Structure 1
Amino acid sequence: MAGRDLRALFGSNDRGVTAGEAFTNREGQWQLVAAALTEHLQQLAQPGFRIDDFEAPRRNLLAFHGVGGIGKTVLSRKLESTLKDTTDRPAQWGAPVWPAGWRIWPVRIDLARSAGTDFEHVILTIRLALAELGHPLPAFDIALRRYWERQHPGEPLEEYLQRSTLTTRFGKNLPQQMQSALSDVAQALLLPGTVGTVVGQVTGSLVSALRERRQSVQALAGCARLADLLEAEADLDALSYYPHLLAFELAQLPADKRVLPVILLDTFEDVGDRTHRDLERLLQRLVWLMPNSFFVITGRSRLQWAEPALEGQLDFTGPHAWPGLAAHDIPLPRPATGTSRGRQILVGDFSAEDCEDYLARRLTTPSGQPLLPAGLRAEIAARSHGLPLYLDLAVMRVLEIRRTGRIPVPADFDGGFPALITRTLQDLTPEERHVLRAASLFDAFDTELVVTTAGLTHEGAARRLIERPFVRDNPFGLWPYYLHALIRTTLRTAPDATDDTWTPTDWTQAADRALTSLGTQWQAHTGPGGRRLLVGALRQGLALARDFHLDLGWLADGAWAYVGDSVWEPLAPPAPHRPGPARLETAADALVELLSTLARRQHQHRSHTVARLTAVIDSQLLPDDLHHMALYYRAKAHRDLGNSPASRTGMQAVADGQGRLAPAARRGLAHLARMAGDFPTALTTARTLGWNGRHHRVQGDIWWPHGDMDRAATAYAAARDEAENHGVTGERGNSQAHRAFALAFTDPSVADNELALAEHLLAGVDLRATTLITHIAALARDAGRTDADIDHRAQVLRAEITAAGVTYTELALDLALAFHYAVRNDQDQVAATIARLRDNTRGDDFAYYSDIAAFMADLPPEEASPTRWIDGPERARTRWHTLVNARRAHLNET
């Protein structure tokens, strides 16, 4: 620990409890940097310091790590600007005093993948930055020139630098300095003047002179490993050792010209991962081989260099090599006093592992064991969302509870900490506080939403707020910004004792503005992505209306738009903030439950759908049109479960209501007539339905049981095209799936194409029953084949159908099996399938399925059928038996 927590120390009579101090702010981080630099400069001034001691521990770095968006890059940039120009230092940051005779020379390098930074770029950036010092660095420059000519033949370094942005940033001194170094060495070696530009000849002669210890190269002879580096293959691995030459040259600078490069490596998380450490290994060498420089590394993850387990992946590992980076050394953001502490600092959020580790070491018993049990630590860590301040406040609550003589339990942390609000708001302007509270109403937001919700007329405060570290950025999100989860929850639920707190009325009025703003964005959006915006607006708007008991407003129209596309994306908003079990109290509660049920029904047994919709209907909270929506979809679920009387009652009630779903309900009645085998009535009704009643698809459903597959396929194609013209994605995919099913009994090659199109149209559409139909169609397409494993595939499908509770789909599966057995002339299996179909259709619904199975095998009916065929049973029998014979002929040909 970095120090004692005096607040905790004086919060308990138990002297056996040890508390480490936590302190997190950027001023503390600056103090850490300043203290570490001062300490490092003092170390460089020690008589025994050597840049070629490759065994001594390294303390020449600080590592700041934390979650994305917490401000690490901002900190890195501010450190660079402050070290470069002290007038740019924030007022609250203390003025550093460096030892006399030293200049601080910052060099910041962004390692982000988007910046395209590789190790060459890192080395060139450092060298170009040092070129501004105006001192030649011949040992390094000769090695770098040799490397460049070997690795980039035909591309002069000067031209490369001219094309890059580095010369704009650092100037153009490097090429002249490198050329001067080559010429000076060539002259010292008495080489001809023209040879001074040929790096290969200079290098070879220099190596010989170094080996022979010639007086002419005495200035370079002090670098004992120069000759070895110049003789080594000039590849990337060798380049990673050249920083030793930079360290040597910096050590040769006169006392009045001494400089400490401070190299800030930002976005270190993009260097690699825990499996691929190639670039990390090269960068670690850079840090190790330049002990007279200082490195500030910022990234999302803790540096693992002190872990012995990395031996072999990295060159220098273990706590001896990096005393300040040990895994169990949990330095907190406050100035460190020892050389082995404060080298790894967490900025902002902790990882889940760090949260538990923090809590385990924050309060300890006299024996050094964690005071908090593992279960309580895990609970607190989960609720903290990684926020260090929450952990600190939780520790204080633990001590407060212990003062009462009680043992803390997880329920003690159900409520938020008001101090989180105070500390979050303390450095915000009044307008920024206003916008922050408005932002807490949203899962995600943009500036337009929060400005409108806050009731402001300008967005300056919102623009400033999104720069704060507790506002996260998701450029791929529907709305690009969201609050730190814990801060948002605390603002919404914890008591707010600040001077400008919002009253319940303020919150309700802001929520109403937020709901209106979401609806305005959706209603104004006419381009691509409208469906995604609708779902996002509904998810957030439903939660607002539910939590603040608002009128439905545009949510009713949004619900109809959501249902109309039949896509069924997950829509359940987050659980309500109010305590206790979910219950239906308002129209918004009922609408949330209605739409959530409709989306979830694709993944639940239809009996669950019926129960949930019944609760919505019985609540009588919805307006009439939405009440009819619940009635209609409950009737559909009853139909799927085989409960035709209940389905017919519901459909008739909706049809009689003459509302938006009346055409769909009349379609449902047509389906029920078809299910009962009354095809003439179903066909007559279908012809009156029009587009809203999906007339073409209903007619296709009537023609395929008659074995008239071409007529059915034509009707389904018309239904698909009509749905596409109306922009109804789900209906388009549904119609195509049924077209594929009908044609699967005819030509397998045609069915292949139709199934492929159906799968394409259903991609991203959550229609479970329709997807099952495509799988059954694939069985019918393969019927008769010995290599198709039909029985096993049917067994898997039957299990899926049972789980879904869509009983009629199992009948279609058995029909496809009957077709397969009829083609193979397996009379026993045909008979068994017919018996199973009769057992499953005892209530007269779908009784014609067993008739069709008998038609396929040209078997006489065993009992009178209630089915009313449009053109009589014999024609239907002929068409189905013809399909079986055609499939046999097709298989014989192939």
Structure 2
Amino acid sequence: MAGGRDLRALFSTNDRSVQADQAFTNRSSQWETAAAALTQHLHHVGAPSFDAEDLEAPRNHVLVFHGVGGIGKTTLSRMLEAALADAGRRPSQWGEPGWPADRILPVRIDLARSAGTDFEQIVLTIRAALTRIGRPLPAFDLALRRYWEANHPGEPLEEYLRRGGLGSRFGQTLPQQMQSALADVAQALMLPGTIGSAVGQVTGALIGALRERRQTVRALAGCTRLADLLEAEPDLDALSFYPHLLAWELGRLPEGKKVVPVILLDTFEDIGDRTRRDLERLIQRTVWLMPNAFWVITGRSRLQWADHALQGQLDYTGLAAWPGLGHTARPAARTLAPSNAERQVLIGDFSPEDCDDYLARRLTRDGQPLISEPVRQVITARSHGLPLHLDLSVARFLELSRSGRTPQPGDFDHDFPALVARTLTDLTPDERHVLRSVSLLDAFDVPLAARAAGLAHEGPAQRLTERPFVREDPFGLWPFHLHGLIRSAVRNADDTTDDRWSENDWQQAAHRAFTTLGEQHQNATGPDRLLLIACLRQGLRLARDHRLDLGWLTPAAWTYVSDSVWEPLAPPDTDTAPGLITAADALVELLSALARRQHEHRAHTVTRLTTVIDSGLLPAELHGMALYYRAKAYRDIGRGQESRCGYQQVADSGSRLAPAARRGLAQAARLAGDFPTALAAAQTLGWEGRHQRVLGDLYWVQGQPDLAAAAYLEGRLEAEQHAKSGEAAHNQALRALAVAFLDPGQADDELELAHQLLAGLDLRATTINTAIAALIRDAGTSTVDDRARALRTELEVAGLTSMTPTLELACSFHQAVLADQDALAATIARLRAQTGDGAYAYYTDIAHFMAGLPLPAGRTPPQWLDGEDNTRARWRTLVTARQDVIHNQ
């Protein structure tokens, strides 16, 4: 639906074939919210118990739409007025209202500073709109006439209405209705007709008649506070109480004339600020005293009327007075009838579909969109759904078109200074300072915002969190974050404001934020993985973007890798970074490579880590981390010699990962079949070298899964004592694999525990170990072959080729149990090809042992811990025991 002609766009081009319309994009959820709230209000005021003169009842007749500048609040306000006034102007997407059209009387009042609206004009606008009822409202009209003559002597009301635009908007009926009311009262009081227009004499006589309860004025005597208002000094403060008379007049209208005013107050943020509430107090008083009207307020911020702290600044405060205006963390847009907790609605951003629709209809030629689809896609992505950005982009499109060239998508990868100006316009200097500071952060809380801004007090940060461009996630570690487009504009657009920051200001703010994050991490009581990850993500971005020293990031990085959980860490835009320039760049790439290796081929991990190592940017201890994990990746892709060289380099350095590197060397000895050397090394590793896991890996290949399972259990318990959830899960998965050879029933329990420990962890290899354990548990059943084929594909995609021989060994066990000699021969052939470099070569021997087959001649045997015959006998016994289990089922 179009919302009128866009004059600015029309006057930006000489091309008369361009159609520039103010497109209105669907806001169905807001309409449904308003319609439901208005329906509730109509039921409330229509009830026999409703009393318009009740000054104590809680008020729930206000609906607030708030949101960032440029989100479309004014457009929504105008469309609500139009839809309520004329069903034909209601957008087709909006549903039918559930009330008679003639019962609703909408009137919209723009409170923007540019409109110059004062309190007098607000009251007169409401009264002028009520002239549509077609009858005087004598109680109010008499009070207003007295006020006007006292405060505007010699100025005809007709002239004021004409000059303020109210005459053309509502006609000049109001002066006539006021004069008629005055004459009627004079006649009822039997005053001389010649003084029917002398408001002072009429007022005095009426007050006396009301005090004496004369029958001649019984129609007005029902308004119990009329005499008090007429006796009061007719100043601006008294004027703010006169709306009570309007409410009374509306309440006594006959059934055929009853209407409910819907008063839309737009740009509410412009009536003052949080320290000067004079106009707000008058408006709030008007709202309170007209409970039978329905009020729709649009502005940038939530109304604070439910805040008890404003007592004394406003007349009516607190949740008891305004039960619908209390702050809640509920989602803003609702499609159901709003409850008391949902009368303040945050206007959300446009969806991508709405953005594209808006841009396609905004500028057209011969009915076709002038802005091409690729350009619309870029604008939509950059806008984060903010309508103001769309408007500014349309203006830029026309500006570029005037230069004689066709605008391209790259022309709109652009931030607008106007967004900064609109955002900062009603913030205090301290709030602007905090806003710029937190634009450096993905998320924040009040203490973090205050410290990042270098403020000794938190008040400005607290006030900033109440602004609509600050979004809240009550379940987040840091609950607040800036609207995406506002954050981008504040950080990247050319800031032309008087208090704009220099590059040095930005650098200092980044350092403050970085230091504060480090303090939060270091001051945590006990292990806090969630805080660690959050601090690392924000700290890495700050250090990378502002070339800060690593500082607390170094110990935090060690804490991150020590648990082997591997949550994603890389801040946004890492893939588009121009290479490694600083130590922070290198650390971002290092930790990103370690986390991503759970989801990409390990050969790619080797390449990324080699880039980090070759850059020479990291300090020695972090350089050793890169070397160690590259050695692990080399092992995973089957490059044993490079892996051993890397492990040896780290072990010789004596660094923090030296025990882990010695474990890698022990495992390398095991892979080569040098089991005595691996056993001797394992007994020197201690907890730091994960000695129990190394022993378990050694025992089960000897055909002693019972000893392996016991070692893995000890390893899991040690890991739990050290709060290392990743290591505990890894040991449990391997324990399940060992137990699966012995007892399928117990393996079920062990696998269930392994899955519980893996929940929430990102450990791909460990998860695949549980799948292999499940195959061993199910050996001899019909489901094994298909699952094994799927696992082969998964290992190939992941680049975990070092695990493939273990999978084939599990298949050998299955085939030996079934005595399927042909399938076993094919598996042994695959094993022989996979272990041709010497690593895991003894797996082919184990496959022969399982089936009771002789070893091929000329083969060099591994160094079994207690000899080949004992090892052969144990593996064969495991197979025959499983055959007995299957036979007895």
TM-score over 0.5 for the pair: yes
Kindly indicate whether residue 97 of structure 2 is the aligned counterpart of residue 97 of structure 1.
no
Which residue of 1 is the match for residue 730 of structure 2? 734
Cα distance, 1:92 vs. partner? 12
Which residue of 1 is the match for residue 559 of structure 2? 561
Cα distance, 1:5 vs. partner? 3.1
Which residue of 2 is the match for residue 547 of structure 1? 545
Which residue of 1 is the match for residue 38 of structure 2? none
The answer to which of 29-38 and 489-498 deviates more is 29-38
User: Which residue identity does 1:19 align to in structure 2?
Assistant: A
Which residue of 2 is the match for residue 669 of structure 1? 665
Deviations 1:534-575 (A, max 9, x none): 111111110110000000011111110110110011111111
Distance in 1 separating the partners of 2:77 and 2:375: 35
Gap change, CA 1:363 and 1:845, over 3 Å in 2: same
Deviations 1:139-193 (A, max 9, x none): xxxxxxxxxxxxxxxxxxxxxxxxxxxxxxxxxxxxxxxxxxxxxxxxxxxxxxx
Work out whether residues 436 and 465 of structure 1, in 8 Å CA contact, stay in contact via their aligned partners in 2: yes
Which residue of 1 is the match for residue 501 of structure 2? 502
Cα distance, 1:762 vs. partner? 1.0
Which of 831, 836, 839 is 1:837 aligned to? 831
Gap change, CA 1:15 and 1:637, over 3 Å in 2: same
Deviations 1:703-732 (A, max 9, x none): 000011111111000000000000001000
Distance in 2 separating the partners of 1:830 and 1:544: 56
Gap change, CA 1:346 and 1:371, over 3 Å in 2: farther
Which residue of 2 is the match for residue 479 of structure 1? 478
Which of 641, 645, 648 is 1:652 aligned to? 648
Kindly indicate whether residue 9 of structure 2 is the aligned counterpart of residue 11 of structure 1.
no
Gap change, CA 1:39 and 1:790, over 3 Å in 2: closer
Partner SS state of residue 863, structure 2:
coil
Which residue of 2 is the match for residue 269 of structure 1? none
Which residue of 2 is the match for residue 870 of structure 1? 865
Deviations 1:656-712 (A, max 9, x none): 010100000000000000000000000000000000000011001110000111111
Distance in 1 separating the partners of 2:651 and 2:480: 45
Cα distance, 1:733 vs. partner? 0.3
Distance in 1 separating the partners of 2:367 and 2:381: 24
Which residue of 2 is the match for residue 754 of structure 1? 750
The answer to which of 535-544 and 368-377 deviates more is 368-377
Work out whether residues 346 and 468 of structure 2, in 8 Å CA contact, stay in contact via their aligned partners in 1: no
Work out whether residues 102 and 259 of structure 2, in 8 Å CA contact, stay in contact via their aligned partners in 1: no
**Match runs of 1:213-252 below 5 Å:** none
Cα distance, 1:582 vs. partner? 3.3
Distance in 1 separating the partners of 2:805 and 2:610: 27
Partner SS state of residue 622, structure 1:
coil
Cα distance, 1:791 vs. partner? 1.0
User: Which residue identity does 2:865 align to in structure 1?
Assistant: I
Partner SS state of residue 19, structure 1:
strand
Kindly indicate whether residue 747 of structure 2 is the aligned counterpart of residue 719 of structure 1.
no
Partner SS state of residue 628, structure 1:
helix
Gap change, CA 1:711 and 1:370, over 3 Å in 2: same
Gap change, CA 1:58 and 1:751, over 3 Å in 2: farther
Work out whether residues 631 and 643 of structure 2, in 8 Å CA contact, stay in contact via their aligned partners in 1: yes
Cα distance, 1:256 vs. partner? 12
Kindly indicate whether residue 794 of structure 2 is the aligned counterpart of residue 800 of structure 1.
yes
Distance in 2 separating the partners of 1:346 and 1:721: 50
Which of 850, 854, 859 is 1:860 aligned to? 854
The RMSD of aligned alpha carbons is 3.6
Which residue of 2 is the match for residue 466 of structure 1? 465
Gap change, CA 1:297 and 1:354, over 3 Å in 2: farther
Work out whether residues 101 and 258 of structure 1, in 8 Å CA contact, stay in contact via their aligned partners in 2: no
Kindly indicate whether residue 260 of structure 2 is the aligned counterpart of residue 260 of structure 1.
yes
Cα distance, 1:832 vs. partner? 2.2
Which residue of 2 is the match for residue 359 of structure 1? 359
Gap change, CA 1:61 and 1:401, over 3 Å in 2: farther
Cα distance, 1:403 vs. partner? 1.1
Work out whether residues 38 and 99 of structure 1, in 8 Å CA contact, stay in contact via their aligned partners in 2: no
Cα distance, 1:402 vs. partner? 1.1
Partner SS state of residue 741, structure 2:
coil
Work out whether residues 676 and 845 of structure 1, in 8 Å CA contact, stay in contact via their aligned partners in 2: yes
Distance in 2 separating the partners of 1:25 and 1:730: 46
User: Which residue identity does 1:534 align to in structure 2?
Assistant: L
Partner SS state of residue 749, structure 1:
helix
Which of 878, 883, 886 is 1:888 aligned to? 883
**Match runs of 1:341-380 below 5 Å:** 347=347, 349-365=349-365, 367-380=366-379
Distance in 2 separating the partners of 1:595 and 1:440: 24
Gap change, CA 1:836 and 1:356, over 3 Å in 2: closer
Which of 756, 767, 773 is 2:769 aligned to? 773
Distance in 1 separating the partners of 2:349 and 2:361: 17
**Match runs of 1:16-415 below 5 Å:** 16-21=17-22, 60=104, 94-95=122-123, 97-99=125-127, 253-254=253-254, 258=258, 260=260, 262=262, 347=347, 349-365=349-365, 367-415=366-414
Which residue of 2 is the match for residue 691 of structure 1? 687
Distance in 2 separating the partners of 1:380 and 1:34: 25
Distance in 2 separating the partners of 1:405 and 1:5: 22
Deviations 1:771-798 (A, max 9, x none): 111111111111122xx32111111111
Gap change, CA 1:593 and 1:261, over 3 Å in 2: same
Distance in 2 separating the partners of 1:564 and 1:722: 14
Distance in 1 separating the partners of 2:98 and 2:650: 84
Deviations 1:633-661 (A, max 9, x none): 00001111111110010000000010100
Gap change, CA 1:92 and 1:516, over 3 Å in 2: farther
Distance in 2 separating the partners of 1:727 and 1:704: 26
Partner SS state of residue 260, structure 2:
strand
User: Which residue identity does 1:15 align to in structure 2?
Assistant: R
Kindly indicate whether residue 565 of structure 2 is the aligned counterpart of residue 574 of structure 1.
no
Cα distance, 1:804 vs. partner? 1.2
Distance in 1 separating the partners of 2:102 and 2:790: 62
User: Which residue identity does 2:17 align to in structure 1?
Assistant: G
Distance in 2 separating the partners of 1:861 and 1:28: 80
Cα distance, 1:866 vs. partner? 3.6
Work out whether residues 471 and 482 of structure 1, in 8 Å CA contact, stay in contact via their aligned partners in 2: yes
Distance in 2 separating the partners of 1:605 and 1:361: 46
User: Which residue identity does 2:534 align to in structure 1?
Assistant: G
> Share of identical aligned residues, percent?
58
Cα distance, 1:60 vs. partner? 4.8
Gap change, CA 1:405 and 1:880, over 3 Å in 2: same
Deviations 1:511-547 (A, max 9, x none): 111111111111222257x101111111111011000
Deviations 1:850-879 (A, max 9, x none): 111111111111032341111111111111
Kindly indicate whether residue 825 of structure 2 is the aligned counterpart of residue 826 of structure 1.
no
Which of 595, 599, 606 is 2:591 aligned to? 595
Which residue of 2 is the match for residue 49 of structure 1? none
Cα distance, 1:18 vs. partner? 2.9
User: Which residue identity does 1:358 align to in structure 2?
Assistant: Y
Unaligned 5+ segments in structure 1 are: 44-52, 65-74, 83-88, 105-249, 265-291, 300-344
Which of 819, 823, 847 is 2:841 aligned to? 847
The answer to which of 716-725 and 489-498 deviates more is 489-498
Cα distance, 1:93 vs. partner? 9.0
Which of 805, 808, 818 is 1:811 aligned to? 805
Kindly indicate whether residue 449 of structure 2 is the aligned counterpart of residue 450 of structure 1.
yes
**How many correspondences in the alignment?**
644
Cα distance, 1:424 vs. partner? 1.2
Gap change, CA 1:720 and 1:405, over 3 Å in 2: same
User: Which residue identity does 2:871 align to in structure 1?
Assistant: A
Work out whether residues 61 and 297 of structure 1, in 8 Å CA contact, stay in contact via their aligned partners in 2: no
TM-score, normalised to structure 1, is 0.67
Distance in 2 separating the partners of 1:595 and 1:39: 55
Cα distance, 1:354 vs. partner? 2.1
Gap change, CA 1:42 and 1:777, over 3 Å in 2: closer
Cα distance, 1:439 vs. partner? 1.0
Which residue of 1 is the match for residue 146 of structure 2? none
Which residue of 2 is the match for residue 436 of structure 1? 435
Cα distance, 1:58 vs. partner? 8.4
Unaligned 5+ segments in structure 2 are: 25-67, 88-96, 133-249, 265-291, 300-344
